Amino acid sequence: MIVVEGKNDTQTLRRFVQCDTIETSGSGITKTTIEKIRLANERRGVIIFTDPDFPGQKIRHIIDQSVPGCRHAFLPKHAAIDEQKGKVGIEHADKEAILEALDAVKTSLPNAEKEAVPSWLELHEAGLLAGPGAREKREKLGNMLHIGYSNGKQFVKRLQQFQISRREFYEAVQKLEEKS
């Protein structure tokens, strides 16, 4: 089951993949919706696929805290923008971007080992936490690792949550530097 924000997201997904969805109807997630997601996760598994914006991140966080062990698909913001309307959403993405996001699904591990991922110091040395271009680097690296964009503190948490190894991290950093 794929958790999305609304009907338009469901319609877009169903154009490209055969799937069932649960719609949150925005960020006001009800207890009933959380229970549906919990049941779906127990019986079939759940992929959280929300918009790459603040409300989408808020919804993702609420569900992740309420229903541990969900899987996550992240769509880069640039792939979800309707240029004419200036809106961001899954419904604006093309088939290639949606399939790539679903192909790179990650499982959130709430009690992940902190040693499995790079330290704060390593992220700082890689220019991801402070200084010119840190935000852009985190955004590009988050897209490369398929964990989405987040601020510095949340980036460290996502590396832990999704068990991104030091090897994966440094390979992605190296590719990022090669592209620059």
Distance CA 57, CA 147 (A): 12
Low-confidence ranges of the chain (pLDDT < 70): 109-116
152-180 pLDDT, tens digit each: 888 888 888 888 888 899 999 999 888 87
| Domain harbouring 81, CATH code | 3.40.50.140
Q: Say if residue 101 is in the same domain as residue 136.
A: no
* Residue 111: per-residue pLDDT: 55
CA–CA gap between residue 92 and residue 121 (Å, rounded): 37
Spatial CB neighbours of 22, under 8 Å, sequence gap ≥ 6: 1, 2, 3, 4, 33, 36, 37, 40, 46
| Domain tally, the chain | 2
Residue 165's domain comprises 112-180
pLDDT on residue 59: 94
**How far does CA 142 lie from the centroid of its chain?**
9
Per-residue pLDDT at 115:
52
- Dig out the tokens for 168 from the structure: 């994966």
Q: How far apart are CA 179 and CA 174, in angstroms?
A: 9
Helices (H) and strands (E) in the chain, counts: 8, 7
Question: What does the pLDDT read at residue 116?
Answer: 62
Within this chain, do residues 88 and 167 fall inside the same structural domain, yes or no?
Answer: no
* Spatial distance between the Cα atoms of 62 and 53, rounded to a whole number of angstroms: 14
Last residue of a domain, one of 86, 108, 130: 108
Q: Please report the pLDDT score of residue 108 as a whole number.
A: 76
Q: Are 30 and 101 contained in the same domain?
A: yes
Residue 123 near residue 155 (C-beta atoms within 8 A): yes
Q: What are phi and psi of 87, to 5 degrees?
A: -105, 155
Structure tokens at 103: 């192909």
Q: Which of 108, 124, 159 is the last residue of a domain?
A: 108
Sign of the C-alpha dihedral computed for residues 51, 52, 58 and 60 taken in this order = positive
Residues 12 and 86 both lie in one domain: yes
Give DSSP secondary structure letters for 35-53. Answer: HHHHHHHHHT--EE---SS
Domain boundary among 108, 132, 149: 108
User: For residue 27, what pLDDT is reported?
Assistant: 76
pTM for the whole thing?
A: 0.74
